[in-house]
Structures are given as structure tokens and as C-alpha cells.
Amino acid sequence: MRCVHLGNTGLQVSALSLGTMTFGRESSEEESRRMFNRYLEAGGNFIDTANVYSNGVSEEILGRLLEDHREKVVLATKAFFRMEEGPYGAGASRKALMRAVEESLRRLRTGYIDLYQIHCWDLSTPIDETMDTLRRLIEQGKVRYAGCSNFTGWQIVQSQRAAAFSGWEGLVSAQMQYSLIERGVEYEVLPACLDEGLSLLAWGPLGGGFLTGKYRSGEQPAEGRIARATEDQEEAWSKRATKRNFAVLSAMEKVAKKRGCSISQVAINWLLCQEGVIPIVGARTLEQLEDNLGAEGWVLTDDEFERLSRAGSMENLYPYRFIEWANNRVWGK
């Protein structure tokens, strides 16, 4: 598997990251071990988890799996969501993060975390405090690099300005939901990442399972992640089963048939074609992981890429359409 640089750093990570949200939840420890070993065997080195995944169990399983592989792996984890009751059991305040880091280090059985990410923008904590805390953790050697997750474009830029004020480089990545059916990051977040030199780590590259091709219009699923999702969750059937999304799926099926590959591989490869994007592939079984790994090592043609992009194109909202119109009028472009 080829490697790419993480943001503007010298750190080289695999083009596909292994997501471990299923470890200890849908996947037993033995199945998690099989997937972990297969990913390393395929040349992967970039593994992502979070303290909240299975309430710490994912980190604990990874800690055991990493015992003989720690220096070969770029290990990423996250903090923000509630792990226990009280004001310091969640959030991105200095006290909460310093406690969360120590707990993650204990569960992961390691002395340092390669990439420590704020799992969501914290409305209750000044970003200056959060960024200064990340700087201190890096200076202490407990963290090597800092990233964010589920931030808006302006929040990413504000975070970088807060870091610059403190005299350090700031965030190197942003982990965001991004797929052929969830492209909201293209308005502001992806341009902000490219401008600030951050990698975009794409979670949900298969739309919560929708882009595997097993769903059909008018046939609400009875099992699986989408079936279990409540209306307030990103994978809810009402958010996935739209006319636009099924049009995207149809376009993907045509490309997959012509290519002789799976629909899932088309979805992930489309992300691999994007500048600065590193897909995070998660799986419940080794068979699913094998399929996902097959997305790397080949490239969609320009025509295939454009056809897929057009099928799920974003609405040209204001002020984007006005900026485009005005510049066409003034500059002829």
C-alpha cells in the first residue's frame, strides 16, 4: 500500500487508514485481531480509534494488538464525547483533555499517541484553551501531532490562528464525514484543509453501508447499521434513501460492473482520487476489510470520476453561486 504525507508534516501514513469503531462492538477481539494483522500485512500503518468507541474497549483491544507492532504503526485516537459523569468526563477543556489523554495512554498501553484529535468542536470551551492544551501535550511528549474532527471550515481556520498566536504549527488533519452521498465538506471544510495544509481523513466513506449496493429504493432495511440508526443519526434511512443518493448508487453500479470491482471499492477509490483525502475504512469482518483494501492500487479514469461526481453534485448555494457569477462577469472566468 502506498504512503502519503499527513498534512504538511514529514509523517508518512498509509493511503487507507484502518478505522476501529467496530472493535469490541460488532467485531470480537479475535476478529479484530484478524483484521488488524491483515491490514498490516497489506502494508497499512495508520490506525484510528477514539476513547468513546465501545466506551474504551476499542482502545483496550488495540493496546493488546499493538504490543509487538507499536513502532510500525501511526496511532490516532480522539476525545470529546462523554466517558463518565461530571464536568470533566467529556469536552475539550484543559482538565478534560489531560485526563482523557492519560486514560487513552493507559488503555492503549503506549507512552505516546501519534495523532490526537478533538472529536468535535466544543461550544463550551474557548478554542485558545483547547489548542494551548494540545501544544502542551506535544511538548510533554504524550502526543506527536494534533488534529480535529467534525469542525466547520471557519472553526479549522480559527484553530490554526490560535495555534499560530502560541507559536506552533497547529492541526495537521481534520477527520470529517465524506463520501459520494455526503459531500457537505466540499463547501468550506475541504478548501480550508487544502489552504491550511491539513489532510482530510474521511470517515463514513461508504455512507454507513449505503454505498455497498445492498439497498434498494422503497425497501427499508430490517437489519444492519442503517436499520439501527435513529432519526437524529447520520446513517438514518430517511437521510440515505433519497432520489439523489439512489442516482449516485446507480452511477456507481455501472462503473463497478465495467471495472469488474465492487461498488464499495468504487466509493473508496473516488475519495482516493481527491487531493489531500485519506479514507478511513472500517469493517465488521475480515471479508469486508479485504474488499475495502481492494480499493487501493488502481485509479478511476477522469471520465469515471467526473460521471460519479456529477451524479451526486452539490447544490450551488449562495454565496458560492454569486461569487462564481460575479467573477465570471468581472474576469470572464
Looking up residue 9, the CATH number of its domain turns out to be 3.20.20.100
In a domain, 329, yes or no: no
In a domain, 307, yes or no: no
Cell 462503473, located at residue: 255
Inter-helix orientation angle 127-139/94-108, to 10°:
40
pLDDT score, position 215: 78
Dihedral of the alpha carbons of 30, 32, 33, 34, in degrees to the nearest 10? 90
In a domain, 90, yes or no: yes
In a domain, 232, yes or no: no
pLDDT score, position 175: 98
**Strand, coil or helix: what is 187?**
coil
With beta carbons less than 8 A apart as the criterion, state whether 61 and 90 touch: no
Question: Cα(198)–Cα(5) distance, rounded to whole angstroms?
Answer: 10
DSSP alpha helices (H): ranges in the chain? 29-41, 57-65, 94-108, 127-139, 153-165, 189-196, 225-228, 237-240, 243-259, 263-272, 286-293, 302-311, 320-331
DSSP label at residue 210: G
pLDDT tens digits for the chain (333 residues)?
999 999 999 999 999 999 999 999 999 999 999 999 999 999 999 999 999 999 999 999 999 999 999 999 999 999 999 999 998 999 999 999 999 999 999 999 999 999 999 999 999 999 999 999 999 999 999 999 999 999 999 999 999 999 999 899 999 999 999 999 999 999 999 999 999 999 999 999 999 889 998 877 766 665 666 666 677 777 666 677 788 999 999 999 999 999 999 999 999 999 999 999 999 999 999 999 999 999 999 999 999 999 999 999 999 999 999 999 999 999 986
Say which of 53, 116, 145, 215 is annotated catalytic.
53
Clarify whether 88 is annotated catalytic.
Answer: no
The total of structural domains in the chain comes to: 1
pLDDT score, position 219: 63
In a domain, 326, yes or no: no
Distance of CA 228 to the CA centre of its chain: 21
In a domain, 323, yes or no: no
CA distances from 106 to 49, 60, 112, 119, 148 (A): 14, 8, 10, 19, 22
pTM, two decimals, is 0.94
Domain carrying residue 152: 3-218+262-298
In a domain, 226, yes or no: no
In a domain, 318, yes or no: no
pLDDT score, position 277: 98
CA distances from 21 to 92, 183, 301 (A): 21, 22, 32
With beta carbons less than 8 A apart as the criterion, state whether 126 and 97 touch: no
